[in-house]
Chain A
Amino acid sequence: MSLTVPAIPSRPWKKPPLIKRAWLRWTLILGFALYLAAAFGTTNVNWARVWEGMPRGMQFVTAFFPPDFTSRWDEIVDGIAESLWMTVVATVVGIALSVPVGIGAARNIAPLPVYYFCRSILAVSRSFQEVILAIFFVKLFGFGPFAGFVTLAFATIGFYGKLLAEDIEDMDASQAEAVRATGAGWLQWINYGVQPQVMPRMIGLGLYRLDINFRESAVVGIVGGGGIGATLNTSFDRYEFDTAAAIILIIIAIVMLTEYSSGYLRRWVQ
């Protein structure tokens, strides 16, 4: 009897690549390299202007320090308060509107025409950045926080409705069917069969959207939508960079605060 010795591999071990199919990997790498070459080739950067701007950038950065909280404090407080009102109202209204749209956009419970209609609402709402929406809503509703609120509410529909629809599509069908088997009507079916399954995740996402809406409220003001963004834009226009720095720091602080508290709240709710 002869002992069989396992054959020593002729090649040393190599890490398996991320994309297993070799042709796909090389096509992607090559395509991306070609694209990058084209992109770099056609992007004209005025390096002289960039170079010239560097000392100006330093001046700019030094103008930010120290941040000036005091001289425009009243305007800052007004702006922040307005942003907060906008955020709360927009989140509540946006979520309330996105529930029917989200239910309509779930393939497993909505008939096909309703599905396509609701999906197209979501696609339009998600395609446009908040600022583009804000430009139009400012034209329609006039300057001020109302336009900002409509913008944020509309953007919330796209975000929340899509995630709600996906969550409903991923739900456990047997539970919903069990409720339906008891003879429940459509509304009862949604309320007792579907809603409890998606609710925990949706509360968390609602708080997350509150967070996003506050951040976005800082930019809708740039095009006239009210809130802290208007104050920030004014301070840039007046070259009061120290006030701008103060506003940016306050925004960062509030975002940090909402992020921590929403994390805490989410754990408490679930």
Chain B
Amino acid sequence: MMSKTLASPKRSWQRRDRKTQLTVWAGYLIGTAIFVFCFQKISETTIWAFVWDAPAQAADLGSRMVPPAWSYIHQLWRPIWDTINIATMGTLISIVLAVPIAYCAARNTTPSVTFLRPVALFIIVASRSINSLIWALMLVTIVGPGVFAGIIAIGLRSIGFVAKLLYEAIEEIDESQVEAVRATGASAAQTTAYGIVPQVMPAFAGISVFRWDINIRESTVLGLVGAGGIGLELNAAITQLYWTQVSLMLLVIIATVILSEWVSAKVRHAII
């Protein structure tokens, strides 16, 4: 008996059809062209002798940095404590300010779509696009150098982040629960408190802890412009070429950041 055998395909299997394949290649071509052009622009303003010299420089710097000056650690506890405080209090300020902004920015809770929502969205973008170091640069001239300027800088920078993620969480809530609460005759405030808040609370706690973790890292550099914390010591050690102190501080920063990341991961796992 003759069985119909499958004709062996003349063409081998292709992942995409011809048109998609061409589009993908065109995309790669344009991408490469842009990349080469940009690299050309950078290389025009680069002194290549310095770049080729970099490995020797790195080896030299590395040899100056070991061993870390362990005895110096006693002077570092205070700056680390300040750094952590800047991050925590800055995050607290941003949380307090971000909640009303997120409430105004979310499409389903905003009191006015035409006026308040664009204003809130602009605040969010403005806060997000200006780095905390630039905020600190401005605040140090206003409130003077020190931890306070750092706290405010971190706070202002974090508003946008917290508010953006929070308003997206508010927009994703289940409306039927809100309606159910409203159907019981609850007032607007009660609807918010019992219909919306419980739904976004886990997300909100997660976002806050996540931002705190980022802020620890950010607050390590604020000292470079005079806003307190370990950056102040780091800057001093770099300008005075105490490289063994610098390497110790880098180790301390890694340890602090990894610890804060661990704490934040634990807390987020516990909540969500």
Contacts and interface: CB of A to CB of B under 8 A. Distances in A.
A131 to B, nearest CB: 4
B180 interface: no
9 smallest A-B Cβ distances: which pairs?
A142-B50, A255-B129, A57-B142, A49-B144, A85-B38, A127-B257, A146-B46, A85-B41, A131-B221
A128 B253 contact: yes
The B interface, classified by DSSP as helix, strand, loop or mixed, is helix
A248 B156 CA distance: 15
Contacts of B192: none
Contact of A127 (B82, B125, B198, B258): B258
Contacts of A42: 81, 85
A176 interface: no
Nearest to B35: A92
Contact of A132 (B46, B50, B234): B234
Contacts of A259: 125
B32 to A, nearest CB: 9
Interface of A: 15, 18-19, 24, 35, 39, 42-46, 49-50, 52-54, 56-57, 60, 81-82, 84-86, 88-89, 92, 123-124, 126-129, 131-132, 135-136, 139-142, 144-146, 149, 192, 215-216, 218-219, 222-223, 226, 232-233, 236, 248, 251-252, 255-256, 259
B29 interface: no
A15 B131 CA distance: 39
B202 interface: yes
A123 B202 CA distance: 27
15 contacts: A15-B198, A18-B201, A42-B81, A43-B85, A43-B147, A53-B144, A56-B141, A92-B35, A139-B57, A141-B54, A142-B50, A222-B225, A232-B134, A252-B130, A256-B129
Given A84-B38, A128-B250, A146-B43, 20 more contacts: A43-B82, A43-B85, A45-B148, A49-B146, A50-B144, A89-B35, A127-B257, A129-B221, A131-B224, A136-B61, A139-B61, A140-B58, A141-B46, A144-B45, A144-B47, A218-B131, A222-B224, A226-B45, A248-B134, A256-B125
Contact of A146 (B51, B128, B220, B270): B51
Contacts of B58: 140
A89 B144 contact: no
B218 interface: yes
B236 interface: no
A247 B73 CA distance: 40
A63 to B, nearest CB: 10
A232 to B, nearest CB: 7
Contact of A218 (B43, B134, B250): B134
B271 A18 contact: yes
Contacts of A124: 254
A267 B166 CA distance: 22
Contacts of A233: 137
B241 to A, nearest CB: 11
Interface in B115-136: 125-126, 128-131, 133-134
A141 B88 CA distance: 35
A57 B54 contact: no
A53 B50 CA distance: 43
B42 interface: yes
B217 interface: yes
B148 A251 contact: no
B38 A219 contact: no
A43 B158 CA distance: 20
Interface string B167-199: 000000000000000000000000000100010
Contacts of B130: 248, 251-252
Nearest to A48: B144
B96 interface: no
A126 B257 contact: yes
Contacts of B234: 132
Q: Which of B34, B88, B218, B224 has the most chain A CB atoms inside 10 A of its CB?
A: B224
Contacts of A142: 46-47, 50-51
Given A46-B144, A50-B144, A145 B45 contact: yes
Contact of B205 (A18, A81, A146): A18
B89 A39 contact: yes
A135 B134 CA distance: 16
A53 B143 contact: yes
Contact of B194 (A15, A146, A252): A15
A60 B217 contact: no
A84 to B, nearest CB: 7
Contacts of A35: 88
